[in-house]
Amino acid sequence: MNRSYRWVIVAAGGLLGCAAVGAMFSLPVFLHPMAQDTGWSVTGISTAMTIGFLAMAAASMVWGHLSDRFGPRPVVLTGSIVLTASLALASRADSLIAFQLLFGLLVGAATAAVFAPMMACVTGWFDTQRSLAVSLVSAGMGMAPMTMAPLAAWLVTIHDWRDSMLIVAGIAAALMIPAALLVRRPPALEAGSPETMAQEPAPEMTVGQAVRSPQFVILMLANFFCCATHSGPIFHTVSYAVTCGIPMIAAVSIYSLEGLAGMFGRLGFGLAGDRFGAQRVLVIGLMAQAFGVLAYAFVTRLEGFYAVAVIVGFIYAGTMPLYAVIIRENFPLRMMGTIIGGIAMAGSLGMSTGPLIGGLIYDRFDSYAPLYVGSWGMGLTAMLILVAFRPFPKTQAETAAA
C-alpha cells in the first residue's frame, strides 16, 4: 500500500469536503441580505436548505454506487463541477422557486458526491490508522464553519449577495476541481487479484445481500437516530440561548465554540477508534452524546452554554467518522461507496428532522426543554441499536480464501 500517497488522498478529501460543505452552508450567511434584496420570505429561502438535506439523502447512495463502478475520481469531479455551476446559477436566480431548485436540489445533490465516495476511497487506502484517516477527512469538512462561512460573511459586507455567492462558487471551483483530480482508486481495487479479494470481509457477498443484511439496517438506523439526536440542538441552541436572555452575538459564539470543539473530537475519537475499536468507541460516544444534549435543558447562563457546547461538539463530531470504519471492517471494499452512501442517506434524513421538529415543539410548548429531552431519548435509542450490531462471521472470508 502506497504509504505516502494515501495521505494525499486524505488531504484531498478534507479540502473537497471543506469547500463543498462550506459552499452549501454559506446560505445562512446570505439569508437576511437575500430576503431584504429580493423580498423572498426567510422561510422560503430557508426551505432551500431543507431541500438540500433531502437531496443529499436521495443522492448519497447513487453517488456511492457510481464510485464503486467507475471509481471515486470521476464522481467527485462531476460533483465538484455540478456543485459550483449550480451555486453560480443560483446566485443569478430571479425567483424563489428557481433558487430553491438550483441551490436546494442541485447543490444539495452535488454535495453528496463528495462524502460517501471520499469516505469509501479513504477507508480503502488504509489498513492501519483507518479511524484517524477518516476522522481527518471529516475534520476537513468540519473546517467549513471556520473558513468558508467567515469568508462569505466578509464578502457580503462589500458586495451584494449575488456577487458574493458567485465569488464563493468561483473559490469552490478553484479548490475542488484540482483536488478531485488528485483522487485515485484504492490500490487493492486496482490490483483486483483473487487473493486480495478473498481477504476482504464477506468476499462473496453481493450488493443486494449487503443492503438487506441486519448489519446494514442496524447501521442505517443507528446513524439516523444519531443525527436526529444532534440536529435539533445544532439548529435551535442559538435561539434557545436568546430566549434565556443571552445577546445574539454571544449566542452565535456558542455555535462557533461547538464547531471548534468538534475539530478536536474528530481527532480524539479517531485515535481512540484505532486503539480500542470503532464500534466500542462509537457506542460510548452515542451514550455520551445523549446526555450531552440533555444538559442543554439545564443551562441558562452563557458560561453554562459554553461548557455544554464544548462537550457536545467534541462528542457528536467525533462519532460521525466511525461509521465508515465499521462499514469497512464488515463489508467488501468493492461496495464501500454504496454502503457508506446508504448510511449517509439515513444520516441526512436524520439531520432534516431537527429544524422542523424543534420549531414545532417550541411553537407548541413555548419552550425548548422538550426538544432536548426528546434528543436525549433518540440518542439512547441510537446507542441501543448499535449495541445490537454483530460483525459478519469471519468464517465467510476464511471459507472464500480456502
> pLDDT of 6-47, one tens digit each?
889 999 999 999 999 888 878 877 877 888 899 888 778 878
Question: DSSP strand E in 76-169: where?
Answer: none
Measured between alpha carbons, how far is residue 304 from residues 9, 243, 286, 295, 356 in Å? 39, 15, 22, 9, 26
Q: For position 219, what pLDDT does the model report?
A: 96
Question: In a 10 Å sphere around its CB, with 0-12 CB exposed, 13-18 middle and 19+ buried, how is residue 121 labelled?
Answer: buried
- CATH topology for 1-186 is Growth Hormone; Chain: A; (1.20.1250)
How far apart, in whole angstroms, are the C-alpha atoms of residue 310 and residue 42?
A: 30
Per residue in 216-234, is it b (16+ CB within 10 Å) or e — as a string? bebbbbbbbbbbbbbbbbb
Report residue 329's pLDDT band, with 50, 70 and 90 as the boundaries.
confident
- pLDDT beyond 90 at 314: yes
Q: For position 399, what pLDDT does the model report?
A: 42
Q: For position 394, what pLDDT does the model report?
A: 66
Tell me the pTM: 0.78
Contacts of residue 100, Cβ cutoff 8 Å, sequence gap at least 6: 44, 47, 48, 51
Instruction: Give 245-288 pLDDT, tens digit per residue.
Output: 988 778 777 877 887 888 888 888 988 988 899 899 999 999 99
Question: In a 10 Å sphere around its CB, with 0-12 CB exposed, 13-18 middle and 19+ buried, how is residue 82 labelled?
Answer: middle
Ordered alpha helix ranges (H), 182-213: 187-191, 194-198, 207-212
Are the CB atoms for 360 and 350 separated by under 8 Å?
no
What residue ranges do the domains of the chain occupy? Answer: 1-186, 195-389
Are the CB atoms for 286 and 382 separated by under 8 Å?
yes
Mean pLDDT of the chain: 86
Mean pLDDT over 101-114 rounds to 92
| C-alpha closest to that of 26 among 224, 169, 230 | 169
The CATH number assigned to the domain with range 195-389 reads 1.20.1250.20
Q: For position 195, what pLDDT does the model report?
A: 47
Same fold yes or no, 1-186 and 195-389: yes
